[in-house]
Structure 1
Amino acid sequence: MENLRECFDPAEWAALCAASPDQPMAQSWDYGQAMAVLGARVRRFVFGETIAQVLERPGLRLVNRGPLGPRAGPMLRRLARHWGVTLATPEHALPGWGRMPLITPRHQAIWRLDPDADAMRGNLSAKWRNRLLRAEERGLRITHGQVASLNELLTAEAIQRQQRGYRALPGAFAIHWPGEKLLLEWREGGQMQAGMLFLRHGAWASYHIGWASDRGRAVFAHGPMLWKAARILSDQGISTLDLGTVDSANPGLAHFKLGTGAELRALGPTVWAVW
């Protein structure tokens, strides 16, 4: 019978993640490292070829976008063998018993990056492709941002978050992210008008935050910026770009993400694991 054990070796964890067809950021070693710096208690468990990175509080275990592997259901039941509550949002709905659904599935935009740029451009929606072409014809110069640009982007996005009332990881998470980052920006008149930050994890990357001024939105700056990011990441060997949650509360953002040709994927429902 397989034993549930903790993993303390980043190389072993990376290899187990690489064996999974899904590599969400929340199950990456770097995510755990950044969360630990922010004060979270992070534990990583292995059950045969199945893994789960867990955030723990007194009496509570949280598994976000996991477990990953062929025995995710049985692993959740093993994780539930402690005195508190174990909550999980699996990457896919899990068959079998031992899970009480609490929250209906959320949806993610998962963009498969094609090494062939022409083929990938052909998968864009007609409206998205036409807006991208017009932005390119205007000659928008998308550049790599530096450390000062990251701080500027985080500050602008924090103000935007407060104004719009949405929740996200704190800006300090991006600062403490130990892995590879891709920061792109567009400036006009010396001022940042739009920016996007992407975080790499294994063969996947995730769109983390974005911000645009009124001017940036007017010229569709995020279109060529996202396109450039996708081509850079593809050239670096990244196969999949997670564009984040898609919901009806923000239809404009949903159309922007799905206009890339990204797959609308339903995650598993959030469940209370029992054994």
Structure 2
Amino acid sequence: MDRIEITPFAATAAAWDAALAALAPAAPVQAHAGYGAIAASSGRGLRRLQIHAGGRLVGLAQVLGRGGLWLCSRGPVFAADLPEVTRRQALRALARVLPGVLIATPEMPVAGFGLVPLVTARHQAIWDLTPEEGALRAGLQGKWRNRLVAAERAGLRVRVERAAGWLIAAEAQQRADRGYRALPPAFAEAWAQQSPGSALVLSAGTATAPRLAGVMVLRAGAGASYHLGWSGPEGRAAGAHNLLLWQAALRLRGMGLRSFDLGDINSEAGAGLMHFKLGTGASVHRLGATCLVLPG
């Protein structure tokens, strides 16, 4: 078994993102430097660590801490060819160097001695954007495609919005009305400031009602993540969200991005939402269980 070495990543945030891109081009937003910087600005501890096995860089871990509890969300990000036994060994070595307790949700499934499951594995809908446009559209499920066609025929217009304040406020009210949880509204504003040009905001509407629905997508490396969305009654009736997701996918693909993370699809979020996300042709990506990592 290769010897695991955990060392601080002492270079710049840009160098971190470059190393992340080399290791996993479509790494999740939570692994990128901007996410860590935003958390640090709100008072959390931030550590960026690199993981070597047998002298080779095999993983990167961005961990956030408060009160002796360290969280590694959607991480560590490991090299795709790394065996599970080495991933487990690396997690335990990571827990050994941190001054406190480590809880991790690995991007790749990993289990075994020294990892105590706390929350069962989650699943993400990941839309592969590499096929050409015709193949991408052919991959849409029938009902989803029919809703898209109906929205297109209804004459809804999609616009790229420069400002996101209206959408953030509308989604915050929607969140309060429906009682679901997500990152605070201030995160979206901070992300846009931290990484100018990396937030794609689209609206769909008509000439008389230009904002019937909207989405905000965050770009990071060769991937993008659906961050938030809102739709009024008219937008829902017209299938505006289907049109917005499709247009977002085309724009992201045109930027050279490879994948579009549509978010969690576990049952408590609602079967309807799960079917909507998978209706794009997205595949199911299983994360590791959220676990308490024992030092080893």
- 4+ residue stretches of structure 1 with deviation over 4 A? none
Which of 18, 23, 30 matches 1:26? Answer: 30
Deviations 1:67-106 (A, max 9, x none): 1113532232122124421100011211553211111111
Q: TM-score, normalised by structure 2?
A: 0.88
2:117 is aligned to 101
2:110 alignment partner, SS class: coil
2:285 is aligned to 265
Distance in 1 between residues matched to 2:291 and 2:173, nearest whole Å:
33
Distance in 2 between residues matched to 1:72 and 1:16, nearest whole Å:
18
Which of 48, 61, 64 matches 1:44? Answer: 48
Which of 189, 213, 232 matches 1:194? Answer: 213
2:89 is aligned to 74
Q: TM-score, normalised by structure 1?
A: 0.94
Assess if the C-alpha contact under 8 Å between 1:22 and 1:68 holds in 2: no
2:267 is aligned to 248
**Deviation at 1:115?**
4.3
Spell out the pairing of 1:132-151 with structure 2 (5 A cutoff). 132-147=148-163, 150-151=164-165
**Deviation at 1:22?**
4.9
Distance in 2 between residues matched to 1:100 and 1:247, nearest whole Å:
21
**Alpha-carbon spacing, 1:131–1:115, altered in 2? closer, same or farther (3 Å):** same
Unaligned runs of 5+ in 2: none
Query: How many pairs were matched up?
Result: 273
Which of 10, 15, 25 matches 2:13? Answer: 10
**Deviation at 1:2?**
4.8
Question: Comparing 20-29 with 229-238, which one deviates more in the overlay?
Answer: 20-29
Which amino acid is 2:20 matched to? C
1:186 alignment partner, SS class: strand
Share of identical aligned residues, percent? 44
Question: Comparing 164-173 with 107-116, which one deviates more in the overlay?
Answer: 107-116
Distance in 1 between residues matched to 2:146 and 2:41, nearest whole Å:
43
Assess if the C-alpha contact under 8 Å between 2:4 and 2:93 holds in 1: no
Distance in 1 between residues matched to 2:257 and 2:35, nearest whole Å:
17
1:59 is aligned to 68
Assess if the C-alpha contact under 8 Å between 2:175 and 2:181 holds in 1: yes
Distance in 1 between residues matched to 2:266 and 2:76, nearest whole Å:
23
Distance in 1 between residues matched to 2:210 and 2:251, nearest whole Å:
24
Which amino acid is 1:162 matched to? A
Distance in 2 between residues matched to 1:145 and 1:37, nearest whole Å:
27
Question: Comparing 122-131 with 1-10, which one deviates more in the overlay?
Answer: 1-10
